[in-house]
Amino acid sequence: MLESASAGMFFAVSDDRIMENIRIMENIKAIGILTSGGDAPGMNAAIRAVTRAAIYEGWKVFGIYRGFEGLIGGEIKEFTTESVSNTIQRGGTILKTARSRDFMSPEGRAKAAENLRKFGIDALVVIGGNGSLTGARELAREYDIPCIGLPGTIDNDLYGTDSTIGYDTALNTIVDCVDKIRDTATSHDRIFFVEVMGRDAGFLAQNSAIAAGAEAAIIPEDETDVDQLDQFIGRGIRKSKNSSIVLVSESPKHGGAMHLAERMRVEHPEYDVRVTILGHLQRGGTPSAYDRILASRLGVAAVEALKEGQRNVMMGIDDDHVVYVPFSRAIKQDKVVEPELINVLSILSI
* Residues identified as active-site: 155
Planar angle of CA 278, 129, 341, nearest 5 degrees: 60
- Helix-helix angle 289-307:43-56, to 10 degrees: 40
> Around 301, how many Cα atoms within 13 Å sit in the side-chain half-sphere?
19
C-alpha 167/C-alpha 180 separation (Å) is 20
**Residues ≥6 apart with Cβ < 8 Å to 230:** none
User: d(Cα 346, Cα 350) in Å, to the nearest integer?
Assistant: 7
Q: Which of 251, 42, 236, 66 is nearest to 150 (CA)?
A: 42
Q: How far apart are CA 81 and CA 85, in angstroms?
A: 7
CB atoms within 10 A of CB 81: 12
Sequence-distant (6+) residues with CB within 8 A of 80 are 55, 61
| Residue environment code for 172-195, b if the CB has 16+ CB neighbours within 10 A, otherwise e | bbbbebbeebbeebeeeebbbbbb
The CA distance from 129 to 150, in Å, is: 8
Q: Report the DSSP beta bridge partners of residue 193.
A: 246, 275
Q: Fill in the DSSP letter of residue 287.
A: P
How far apart CA 103 and CA 109 sit, in angstroms, is: 5
Distance (Å, whole) CA 304 – CA 326: 16
